[in-house]
Amino acid sequence: MGKKIIIAGGGHGGIGCGALLAQKGFDVTVYEKNSRNEMGYDWTDIFDKKGFAAIGMDMPDDGLWRLKYDMTFFGPGMTTKLRQDTPVDQLEIQMERRALYDCIIAYAEKCGVKFEYSNAVEAPVMLGNRVVGIKTEKGEYYADLVIDACGMNSPLRRKLPEHLGIQNEAQAFESFYVWRAFFEKGDFDGKIEDKFKLFLLPKGELGISWIDDEEKYTDVLIGRFEPLTEQRVEKLIDDMRKDYPSIGKKILRGGSFAQIPVRQPLGVLVADGYAAIGDSAFMTVPIIGSGIANSMKAAKILAETIIADETESFSAAVLWKYQKDFFSKTGNGLAPLAPVKLLLTRLEPIELDYIFERGILNADDMTISADSTSLASMVKDMLDPEPLKAKIKGLAASPVVLKKIMRMIKDIAAVTVVTTVMPQKYDIKRVYAWSEMYNKCFKR
């Protein structure tokens, strides 16, 4: 019998990693709090299709996905709009979340992964500094390695001892509280110019909203840095409907609240017998919250590290390769975008309009994707001296905005430097010190 692996929570990256491990003879069980029918959300998602290849899956049937539409970004004053222009070979796909889970779970089961549903994980079981299992509502389970795929509020990550250097909690402005629903089409037969509209600081509020005008329904998302209430959502939707009558009255699907991490990846992903993946490790793109493909790509890196561990100790020292490879392939592109998100939280609405109007942020900058190559080149472009000089010149008339942008650039540069000095090898004290330095880069 192969070594025992627990996947805590049925996150996409955890299941994908479990599939790759089960194929190699590991004994893998997923412990998920929901029943099988409750897995996922009643809406669609956009993600990089390369995620499937990363976990060794074929593309789902053609009828289950399509290429996504480009988004059009609007500033708070609606004075300018910036339309993405994503090259076709980099276009992400749109797919129903439930269909995605159906495909991934069927694949994992075929690879030999076992699923135990309706069993919520409550805490790690520790032996000294080592995670040796999980405590669930139905009892304790032990394993050689626990992979934490419980999502952003993971009770495992939250309850790990602080001295391991793994940040337990997300901080303020690191999580979006969202509400999303598909509405029936409203009485509107005019031409819709921009199918997928994304509003930054809408009506001056700290957050985003989107309206995606699909053929048979209108997809509406509201995201704020503070929890939303039913009454607040109702009022916001009524206001949106006045400007966009294509939002009908009746909710067809969704209409529920959720949370999305919009922050830098967790500084330390591993401990002895423990690895975090997906939203548990905050692997989403900080500005837009896409995390599905990143978690599937991380699954491949984690599985390769585990399979290569000839000692079968699954110690933090061995798992450190996963940490290093994840950051070099994806994390180093994600982390510098957290200061860009923080800039949005510092700007007055009128200042963001000014930035759009002057072309300081242009359509190319907004062609943000979850593709790690484009993320890395985006960060490189942001620090490129020539375009940077031109942008700074364009801000000469507004020293306040200039100061805020300079702070963001300084923070991006700091993150870029700190990630390059990540310890080469795992040493608990050095890792703790490094993680403190990393976390400091993102103070608001």
CA distance 93 to 68: 5
- Which of 23, 34, 80, 168 is in the footprint of ligand FAD by CB under 6 A? 34
* Structure-block tokens of residue 88: 């076709």
Instruction: Fill in the amino acid letter for 55.
Output: I
Q: Collapsing DSSP states into helix, strand and coil, what is residue 425?
A: coil
* Structure-block tokens of residue 157: 């990550």
The site map against ligand FAD for 42-61 (x = CB under 6 A) is ---xxx--------------
Q: If binding is defined by CB under 6 A, does position 371 make contact with ligand FAD?
A: no
- Which of 130, 157, 180, 321 is in the footprint of ligand FAD by CB under 6 A? 180
Distance in angstroms between the alpha carbons of the first and the last residue of the chain: 49
Q: If binding is defined by CB under 6 A, does position 165 make contact with ligand FAD?
A: no
Q: Which H or E run includes 389?
A: helix 385-394
Distance of CA 168 to the CA centre of its chain: 17
Residue 333 near residue 48 (C-beta atoms within 8 A): no
- Which of 121, 145, 287, 334 is in the footprint of ligand FAD by CB under 6 A? 121
- Which of 284, 315, 369, 419 is in the footprint of ligand FAD by CB under 6 A? 284
Q: If binding is defined by CB under 6 A, does position 143 make contact with ligand FAD?
A: no
Give the count of residues interacting with ligand FAD (CB under 6 A).
34
Shortest Å, Cβ 256 to ligand FAD: 9
Residue 31 near residue 156 (C-beta atoms within 8 A): no
Judged by CB under 6 A, which stretch of 288-296, 345-353, 392-400, 408-416 contacts ligand FAD?
288-296
Backbone angles phi, psi at 412, to 5 degrees: -65, -45
Q: If binding is defined by CB under 6 A, does position 286 make contact with ligand FAD?
A: no
CA distance 285 to 149: 17
Q: If binding is defined by CB under 6 A, does position 412 make contact with ligand FAD?
A: no
Q: If binding is defined by CB under 6 A, does position 31 make contact with ligand FAD?
A: yes
Backbone angles phi, psi at 120, to 5 degrees: -75, 135
Q: Buried b / exposed e across 36-58, counting CB within 10 Å, b at 16+? A: eeebbbebbbbbbeebbebbebe
- Which of 32, 219, 351, 411 is in the footprint of ligand FAD by CB under 6 A? 32
Q: If binding is defined by CB under 6 A, does position 86 make contact with ligand FAD?
A: no
- Which of 60, 273, 289, 333 is in the footprint of ligand FAD by CB under 6 A? 289
Closest CB to ligand FAD among residues 45, 351: 45
Q: If binding is defined by CB under 6 A, does position 209 make contact with ligand FAD?
A: no
- Which of 155, 207, 267, 273 is in the footprint of ligand FAD by CB under 6 A? 155
CA distance 123 to 20: 25
Q: Which H or E run includes 376?
A: helix 372-383
- Which of 7, 11, 16, 22 is in the footprint of ligand FAD by CB under 6 A? 11
Closest CB to ligand FAD among residues 290, 435: 290
CA distance 337 to 408: 10
Judged by CB under 6 A, which stretch of 11-19, 53-61, 356-364, 407-415 contacts ligand FAD?
11-19
Binding site for ligand FAD (CB under 6 A): 9-13, 31-34, 39, 45-47, 120-121, 149-151, 155, 178, 180, 258, 260, 278-280, 284, 289-293, 295, 370
